[in-house]
Structure 1
Amino acid sequence: MVTCSVLSLFKNPSTRAETLSFRVEPNCQIIGSFNGLLCLYDYDGDFRLCNPSTRLTSKKSPHSFWSRQDITHFGFGYDQVKDKYKVLIAIRALNMTKVHTFGTNSWTTIQNPIFSESGDKEGKFVGGTMNWLNKRTGSYGNWAIVSFHMEKETYSEVLLPPKHDGGNKHVLDVLSNCLCFHYFDESHWVLWLMEKQESWTKLMLIPHNRICNFRLFFHPLCISGNGDVLAKCLDPQLVLYNANKGTYNYPKLRGWFRPDMHIYHESLVSP
């Protein structure tokens, strides 16, 4: 595993990535990060938590018995009321969601809402909820956000920004601790931010006509106080956009080998 300070990237796009002594096994996938903890999923179907700062890992979850092909949706988040970390997986064939609370020895079962094959697979955690873009069954071009409340362990639906049902290359992310919904039109990526419950604000327009790969893959990772947006895309791997100047920069992470990137905050939290 290698790390790089986000602040250093904003100041110096050619910052070198640092290698940690903490090693993530090649068969593990990072499926989420919160409070300085990473949730890892291996090919054997087991989950565990790790803190790269302290080099500590938790015990593995009880075996889930489902392969990656069986899991249609998943997510990792935090129940603030009970001070517990949870991972959930949705199994389409069984039409149910399995939830594991780390520190326990079991999975609980919850009935699924109807997930579509066109929706997100990886959930976005923010404000105590896990969220996925999901196409409503039996409709064409009609999308919404399926939201899972981590403490209550219940599903609900959140509407997209007004007069929009998903658009082209629509994506759900987390930016500034808020849900961020974005899509592209003929010349721009359009970013919306949900700063209050189900209240959307158009954040900015990012022109993509200069770089065609923006049309294929664009995920904002974070935004600075002066309006710089750091995002990952296909090629180059990272792009830094200054909204005030309308300029682009392309950070090069020398020493970066893994294709997946996650923002995490260093902490001493025990997994």
Structure 2
Amino acid sequence: MQLANAADQSLCLVLHSEFPKFVLYNVLVNDLGSRYKEWKRLILPFQETLSRFEIVGSCNGLLCVSDYELDDPVLIYNPLTWDYKLLPDKGGEHLKGKVYRCVFGFGFDPKTMVYKVIKIVHYAGSSSKVPDLNRKPDVYVVTLGSEEWTYKGQTHYQLTGSSSEAFVNGKFHWLTHCNFLEVGKCQDIISFDLSTEKFQELARPDFEGLMKHTCPLVTLKGVLSAVISYDDETHEIWKMRDYNVKESWSREFVIGKYIPKIFLTFGQFNSYPGRGRIDGYRKHKFQVICILSNGEILLLYENQALVSYTVETGKFTDLKIKGQRFEYLSTLHTGSIISVNAAFNMHG
């Protein structure tokens, strides 16, 4: 019952900052229009175990957190109740120096009533900074409460990012990594079904945006959406209204060019947040966070400036929040009192 009500009342942003040290903050989305809004620092009881970390998933009030550099260990953490629990170590070939990067997904499977984490391991080539494109990534899945990761074979998809960009219809979604030397080659949209544990290519629209990396996926009001950023700094939001029906893709919003006031006053803070490695793809010049209850669209520019956009009038409003960091990654999160131990004990 609490979780059902939390979707509106406890929706928040979790801010992940790496400077001067790894910390998490949060702010309620409903407070963004208040003059008293403030980033509140979260208590991190796991810091002795995991001092350098990143968020790779959020589901039902639980955060999935992984090691910033090695991707192991991985743990589940509830920032409201402060409890956390480690997932089993991967082991085997998943050793430092052999792994190029890992892609994660964390979600709840309503069919089997369990929480699962997927881990897709991309391997390194001649050095840790070069991917081995001749070796297919390995796929592992763990159900919270089980003793080990289950090997699900290999996939030929090279996926972008370090975590799933959108969770819709019980499925994770990613874009494939695009080799720009392949003329006419577009990024594909790939899903992974938590119940069947199978990958699938989704019908993608025919628009220029999928030719670029600046095309993140996002869930808006429960609908899979794609955000297209063009060179003139205008943006489009496309929605797939009927799941996996190509003809249902439609352009819903067009957002004009805007420079947040903080950039005009102080310029931009030019470090690289959200993974110090080149494979992170987490540095977005423009990011759509969510659609607010009043219909405004919440935007994040350069991982530094939160802005709300009113569709009807085309008005941009800069959101100043007390305690804001210079640069950060932002995760949409629903606060809940679900116990981490209870989530692990749901394993049948």
Question: What residue number does 1:182 align with?
Answer: 227
Amino acid at match of 1:255: G
Structure 1 stretches of 4+ with a deviation exceeding 4 A read: 135-139, 209-213
Question: What residue number does 1:40 align with?
Answer: 65
Question: Would you say 1:55 and 2:91 are equivalent positions?
Answer: no
Q: How has the CA–CA distance of structure 1 residues 221 and 266 changed in structure 2, closer, same or farther, with 3 Å as cutoff?
A: same
Task: Output the CA distance in 1 between the equivalents of 2:46 and 2:331.
Answer: 14
Q: Deviations over 1:82-131 (max 9, x none)?
A: 221111121233632111111001111123332237x3442132221011
Task: Output the CA distance in 2 between the equivalents of 1:126 and 1:142.
Answer: 22
Question: What residue number does 1:103 align with?
Answer: 145
Q: Is the 8 A contact 1:141 1:166 kept in 2?
A: no
Q: How has the CA–CA distance of structure 1 residues 100 and 238 changed in structure 2, closer, same or farther, with 3 Å as cutoff?
A: same
Task: Output the CA distance in 1 between the equivalents of 2:162 and 2:335.
Answer: 26
Give the counterpart of 1:156 among 194, 200, 213: 200
Amino acid at match of 2:58: S
Q: Is the 8 A contact 2:57 2:104 kept in 1?
A: no
Question: What residue number does 1:261 align with?
Answer: 330
RMSD: 2.7
Q: How has the CA–CA distance of structure 1 residues 243 and 2 changed in structure 2, closer, same or farther, with 3 Å as cutoff?
A: same
Q: Give the structure-2-normalised TM-score.
A: 0.69
Question: What residue number does 1:78 align with?
Answer: 108
Q: How has the CA–CA distance of structure 1 residues 37 and 255 changed in structure 2, closer, same or farther, with 3 Å as cutoff?
A: same
Identity of aligned residues (%): 23
How many residues align? The count is 267
Q: Deviations over 1:136-191 (max 9, x none)?
A: 78664322111100111000001222445604421112222222201123452010
Question: Would you say 1:191 and 2:237 are equivalent positions?
Answer: yes
Question: Would you say 1:172 and 2:217 are equivalent positions?
Answer: yes
Question: What residue number does 1:7 align with?
Answer: 30
Q: Is the 8 A contact 1:15 1:251 kept in 2?
A: no
Q: Is the 8 A contact 1:229 1:242 kept in 2?
A: yes
Q: Is the 8 A contact 1:227 1:244 kept in 2?
A: no
Q: Give the structure-1-normalised TM-score.
A: 0.86
Task: Output the CA distance in 2 between the equivalents of 1:193 and 1:120.
Answer: 21
Structure 2: give runs of 5+ residues left out of the alignment.
1-23, 124-134, 269-283, 341-348
Task: Output the CA distance in 2 between the equivalents of 1:227 and 1:246.
Answer: 12
Question: What residue number does 2:276 align with?
Answer: none
Give the counterpart of 2:170 among 111, 114, 128: 128
Task: Output the CA distance in 2 between the equivalents of 1:238 and 1:225.
Answer: 16
Secondary structure, counterpart of 2:31 in structure 1: helix
Question: Would you say 1:244 and 2:266 are equivalent positions?
Answer: no
Structure 1: give runs of 5+ residues left out of the alignment.
none
The structure, 1 or 2, with the larger RCO (C-alpha pairs under 8 Å, 6+ apart) is: 2
Question: What residue number does 1:206 align with?
Answer: 255
| Greater Cα offset, 60-69 or 260-269 | 60-69
Which has more radius of gyration? 2
Question: What residue number does 1:113 align with?
Answer: 155
Q: From the two aligned structures, give the one with the greater strand fraction.
A: 1
| Greater Cα offset, 42-51 or 64-73 | 64-73
| Aligned pairs (5 A) from 1:207-246 | 207-208=256-257, 210=259, 217-234=285-302, 236-246=304-314
Question: Would you say 1:21 and 2:43 are equivalent positions?
Answer: yes
